[in-house]
């Protein structure tokens, strides 16, 4: 790939902020067990790093939900590609996402998961683009970084399956 990538958030900045968010989660979930739901594929890098820093008991499950396909713009059609392996009834659920922009995917997902009777559902994201939010009711409890409306890659985020493995958040410069 010959794309030029500008560093938006360095690996050090990302790691420092994940430590801070994990400390907030540890405080908020003290005395409880948190059930992390990692949204694949992009969320896996962030979820693993976050889980390593959480000191309260953690369980983990994975879900794959898409509204993108192979482009850079949301299609608006949400599909569950891989569902959870475990029931959610009575669990304190924390959905872990790599990026939230329009909110369509998470709005749909939260409604689906509420029907499974968890004790609580909250959201944690590495990156948030609130200016792109279409579904205003999506409330994010834990946000590492609020970023401008640029297409970002790295730390799990991809452009057509490329650049997920970058240890930082970057912007492809055309």
**Regarding beta strands 120-128 and 34-40, do their DSSP bridges make them parallel or antiparallel, or are they unpaired?**
unpaired
Number of domains in the chain: 1
160: in domain: no
Q: What is the value of pTM for the model shown?
A: 0.91
Q: Is 98 a catalytic residue?
A: no
162: in domain: no
pLDDT score recorded for residue 3: 82
Give me the phi and psi of 133, to 5 degrees please.
-65, 120
Q: What CATH number is given to the structural domain containing 100?
A: 3.40.50.2020
Predicted confidence (pLDDT) per residue in 129-168, tens digit? 988 777 767 889 999 999 999 999 999 999 989 999 999 9
Predicted confidence (pLDDT) per residue in 21-44, tens digit? 999 999 999 999 999 999 999 999
Helix (H, G, I), strand (E, B) or coil at 131: helix
Model confidence at 69: pLDDT above 70: no
Determine the structural domain holding residue 125 and report its residue range. Answer: 10-150
pLDDT score recorded for residue 106: 87
166: in domain: no
Rounded CA-CA distance 140/21 in Å is 12
87: CB partners within 8 A, 6+ apart: 116
174: in domain: no
Which residue out of 28, 61, 92, 101 is catalytically annotated? 101
């Amino acid at each position: 790939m010959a794309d030029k990538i500008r560093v938006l958030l360095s690996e050090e900045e990302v790691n420092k902020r994940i430590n801070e968010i994990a400390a907030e989660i540890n405080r908020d979930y003290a005395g409880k067990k948190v059930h992390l739901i990692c949204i694949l594929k992009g969320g896996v890098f962030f979820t693993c790093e976050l889980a390593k820093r959480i000191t309260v008991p953690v369980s983990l499950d994975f879900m794959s939900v898409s509204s993108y396909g192979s482009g850079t713009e949301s299609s608006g059609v949400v599909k569950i590609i891989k569902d959870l392996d475990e029931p959610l009834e009575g669990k304190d659920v924390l959905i872990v996402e790599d990026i939230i922009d329009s909110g369509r995917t998470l709005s749909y997902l939260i409604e689906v998961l509420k029907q499974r009777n968890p004790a609580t559902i909250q959201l944690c994201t590495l990156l948030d683009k609130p200016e792109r939010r279409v579904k205003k009711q999506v409330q994010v409890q834990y946000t590492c970084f609020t970023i401008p409306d640029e297409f970002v890659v790295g730390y799990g985020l991809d452009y057509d399956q490329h650049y997920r493995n970058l240890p930082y958040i970057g912007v492809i410069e055309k």
